[in-house]
Structure 1
Amino acid sequence: MRLRYAAFSDVGRVRKDNQDSGYAGPHLLVVADGVGGSARGDVASAETVEVLRRLDTPPGNDVLGALAGAIHLSHDRIAELVAADPSLEGTSTTVTALVLDGDRIAVGHVGDSRGYLLRDGTLAQLTTDHTFVQSLVDEGRITEDEARVHPHRNLILRAVDGVHEPEPDVFTLEVAPGDRILLCSDGASGVLTDEQLTRILAEGTPDSAAYSLVDRSLDAGSSDNVTVVVADLVDDDAVDDPETSAAATTGPMLVGAAAEGARSRGPGGRIAGARDTGELEPVGDTAPMAVEARRGSARPAAADDDLDPEEARYAPRPPKRFTWARRTLLALVLLLAVGLIAVAAYRWTQDQYYVGDDAETVAIFRGIEADVPGLTTHRVEEPSELRLTDLPDAYAREVSEGISASSLADARDIVQRLERRVTCPEPAQPSASPSTGPSASASPTPSASSSPPSSPTTSALCTEADE
């Protein structure tokens, strides 16, 4: 099968510039809705289409991989543009793309532009909106009808922005001759019901259906840019009728901001069908409106209030104003928090006690036994005269490893218990009984087995224990 297609884009009756982009070719259909207002969403959508249109060739074996890869490449391209021109920070775009692969179509989708399939008079939505209200619908908190009028219905949660990974939905779908495909921005799907879309799509050629969808969307009150791509699936051997197929005379078609970008690159453009409809006159004296994103209510803009509703449309986009000041403030807050935590931790350590070894002498320490460069975490609170050598080996090892205490009084009790474990020397015993013989007057000789004299500390502790 192959595609008969048509693409239209209109700036609409309110906006001054068109931030939508669209593409239709023999193997590829794309709609991208730029987001960002003054951050130039038109740049994001046009660059995304420029990257994706490289897929308009006979597809290879891995169509889904190629489609997802192209969306990620557009993400990288936007990141490059923002790095080169900081005024573009905050720009992003939705994208819904379709690649025809024989009897199947591969679909890639990010954001709230939509893809539909009309078969035998029944319309099916192929894509799922990455929006706040869609998450409410999925959770059963609001209905589809309520979502259509919800104050936050335009708040999208996922886009191609060069900052966050786009995470596109990619899938394949079996198709058949006679199927009709619609890709559109929310300027159309946001104001036309499924019944209206079905009725308009069911009539005429892709060219006339695409034009009618744009026309009816603006008549229904769309305040956004409107971009639609309509394509029929036909047998490969079908003969094009120049009167019923725009593709027969125009070749690949580029519309919206992407078309403006192609024209700005100079004469000899590669796209013959580039066009922005612009047939409908904008509504005159339309008061500028600024949307309060938090409450979803609209208010007349003040004289110095130039906020475009598109500025707040993409939720994950970081704020642009006073970024350096906010980062500095955040760094100061983090440093203050770390400092407070460090002070609190140090004070806690100074309420801890343990009994340990101070130069082979038992002592009470205050703090914790830890090595922190540039910081003393413990000190001797009370020394003692008890030496490790005076203790049995098991107790000496415990002291060397440190014995935790719950308080200073508890540490003193531990030292006293250790003092009661001092090994006292055995009293000296004479080597033999005195002789009554003639040699009794001889001077007695000290026994070799007599114990050596004990240390003053040991003697004092042993004396106290005896008493």
Structure 2
Amino acid sequence: MYLHYSAISDVGRVRRENQDSGYAGPWLLTVCDGVGGAVRGDLASSTAVQALRKLDQEPDDDILGQVAGAVHRADDRIAELVEEDPALNGTSTTATVALFDGTRFGIGHIGDSRAYLYRRGELRQLTHDHTFVQSLIDEGRITEEQSRTHPHRNLILKALDGIRHEEPDLFEFPAEPGDRVFLCSDGACGTLTHDRMAEILGTGTPDFAAVELVRASLEAGSTDNVTCLVADVSEEAPPEDLTPLLVGAAADLPRRLPLGGAVGGLFRGHRSGDTGEIPPVPDDVPEGAYVADPIDPEAARYAPRDPGRHAWLRRLLMAAVLLGLGWVVLAAGWSWSQQQFYVAEDGGKVTIFRGIDASLPGVSLSHPYEVTDVELTRLSDIDAEQVREGIESDDLEDARLTVDNYAARQDVD
């Protein structure tokens, strides 16, 4: 079987630059969403895609091994960039990869970009988001619908950053003629509902569906970059002019346009508008002038924060608060321990200890409180061993009762 594919990436209505990157070819589909904010998320995503696109050739039998190796190489390449330029520390990218061998797909995934399968009229999400809100959904604390407006909906837990070397999710599934595979950045899936995506994916060619998905995302209010890759599985060979597509930050050549128009206007001539050309930054702003961005949740959570003025004072106050809290905890713990009692051996005699039967390096957590005249040598071997191991007591009276029981048995045993 073969892939008939299309790929589109749009900067969107708000952002000044596109930090998404995508690639679609006869064997490979991949989307990367840079999450570096001020530290060049576009560089992270384009670097990852340039490494991953080398997978675009007929795979061998170990399809998942090839995907995992390519993801790790992309992570290593980002690590090299950070090592060469420490100012890039903090840049990272999501990565969703679909490698096709003619009969099946091998999927690699890390972050919150997504892969979907549209089969026989039903849409199924294949990947699982590595995000904070997804963990809340998994725990049953919020619904999928609530996650779309959650204040921390953009907080991702795993990404390729060249530092943590996270392991991607890996799995494969068999392909069928008529399958439609959809990969996207969260600019699309974070805005469009499941039903709306299914409605669009059920119509038209891959070109048409990709354009409609981007348009629908922008019209639904997406404030992020939007990247959509759509591929159909077919028993018919694709047209000879269907060449690999590199889109977004990774694009180094003008992409072919699916529905006519110039390179500068992705949507020109398509339906009723040219939403792809809404300028994210006014053209008449004087050079060097400050342009205030709208609230950008992505940059706010991914980019390192400027410590601002008097950062040392804030750090000192925080350290003092933490030190005070630590002292309170230690004092409370010590006070509690001095209300505990247990029975053990001291100098060969049954002894009541005050504190807890434990120790820390260089710190004693208990001390003898009452030394009795009950000698271990006059107890049975079983009783003596129990005392040596220590016997917990509810309080001082309970400890004394334990001692009285052994005292009553020492002469008998």
CA-CA distance at 1:153 after TM superposition: 0.7
Deviations 1:386-409 (A, max 9, x none): xxxxxxxxxxxxxxxxxxx99xxx
1:45 and 2:45 matched: yes
Relative distance call for 1:189 and 1:64 in structure 2 (3 A) is same
Letter in 1 for 2:147: A
Write out aligned runs for 1:391-406 (5 A): none
Are 1:27 and 1:57, in contact at CA under 8 Å, matched by a contact in 2?
yes
Q: Residue 311 of structure 1 corresponds to which residue in structure 2?
A: 299
Structure 2 stretches lacking a partner, 5+ long:
268-273, 283-289, 324-366, 369-413
Write out aligned runs for 1:152-231 (5 A): 152-231=152-231
Q: Residue 81 of structure 1 corresponds to which residue in structure 2?
A: 81
Letter in 1 for 2:230: V
Secondary structure of the structure 1 residue equivalent to 2:241 = helix
Deviations 1:205-260 (A, max 9, x none): 0011101111111111110000000000011xx143x5xxxxx424100000000x
CA-CA distance at 1:278 after TM superposition: 4.0
Q: Residue 120 of structure 1 corresponds to which residue in structure 2?
A: 120
Letter in 1 for 2:168: P
The alignment yields a C-alpha RMSD, in angstroms, of 3.7
2:279 and 2:248 mapped to 1: Cα distance?
22
CA-CA distance at 1:286 after TM superposition: 8.2
Relative distance call for 1:310 and 1:101 in structure 2 (3 A) is same
Relative distance call for 1:158 and 1:93 in structure 2 (3 A) is same
Write out aligned runs for 1:344-355 (5 A): none
Write out aligned runs for 1:420-435 (5 A): none
1:312 and 1:80 mapped to 2: Cα distance?
25
Are 1:251 and 1:273, in contact at CA under 8 Å, matched by a contact in 2?
no
Relative distance call for 1:285 and 1:195 in structure 2 (3 A) is closer
Letter in 2 for 1:186: D
CA-CA distance at 1:36 after TM superposition: 1.4
Letter in 2 for 1:249: D
Relative distance call for 1:277 and 1:321 in structure 2 (3 A) is farther
1:203 and 1:303 mapped to 2: Cα distance?
40
Letter in 2 for 1:110: I
CA-CA distance at 1:39 after TM superposition: 0.7
Secondary structure of the structure 2 residue equivalent to 1:150 = coil
From 228, 231, 248, the equivalent of 1:256 is: 248
Which of 1 and 2 has greater Rg?
1
Are 1:38 and 1:308, in contact at CA under 8 Å, matched by a contact in 2?
no
2:64 and 2:30 mapped to 1: Cα distance?
15
Identity of aligned residues (%): 55
Q: Residue 57 of structure 2 corresponds to which residue in structure 1?
A: 57
CA-CA distance at 1:175 after TM superposition: 1.5
Letter in 1 for 2:241: T
Letter in 1 for 2:178: G
Secondary structure of the structure 1 residue equivalent to 2:250 = helix
Instruction: Tell me how many residue pairs correspond in the alignment.
Output: 311
CA-CA distance at 1:86 after TM superposition: 2.1
Write out aligned runs for 1:27-46 (5 A): 27-46=27-46
CA-CA distance at 1:166 after TM superposition: 2.2
1:93 and 1:249 mapped to 2: Cα distance?
31
Relative distance call for 1:306 and 1:195 in structure 2 (3 A) is closer
Are 2:14 and 2:280, in contact at CA under 8 Å, matched by a contact in 1?
no
1:72 and 1:285 mapped to 2: Cα distance?
34
1:69 and 1:313 mapped to 2: Cα distance?
29
1:215 and 1:272 mapped to 2: Cα distance?
18
Q: Residue 143 of structure 1 corresponds to which residue in structure 2?
A: 143
Relative distance call for 1:56 and 1:131 in structure 2 (3 A) is same
2:53 and 2:257 mapped to 1: Cα distance?
14
Letter in 1 for 2:141: R
1:286 and 1:142 mapped to 2: Cα distance?
36
Relative distance call for 1:250 and 1:2 in structure 2 (3 A) is closer
Relative distance call for 1:75 and 1:320 in structure 2 (3 A) is farther
1:9 and 1:26 mapped to 2: Cα distance?
19
Deviations 1:297-335 (A, max 9, x none): xxxxx9888985333334xx876759xx98xx89xx8xx
Deviations 1:173-204 (A, max 9, x none): 11101000000001010111011000100100
Write out aligned runs for 1:374-453 (5 A): none
CA-CA distance at 1:62 after TM superposition: 1.3
Letter in 2 for 1:258: A
Q: TM-score normalised to the size of structure 1?
A: 0.59
Q: TM-score normalised to the size of structure 2?
A: 0.67
Are 1:132 and 1:157, in contact at CA under 8 Å, matched by a contact in 2?
yes
Secondary structure of the structure 2 residue equivalent to 1:35 = coil
Letter in 1 for 2:208: S
Secondary structure of the structure 2 residue equivalent to 1:154 = coil
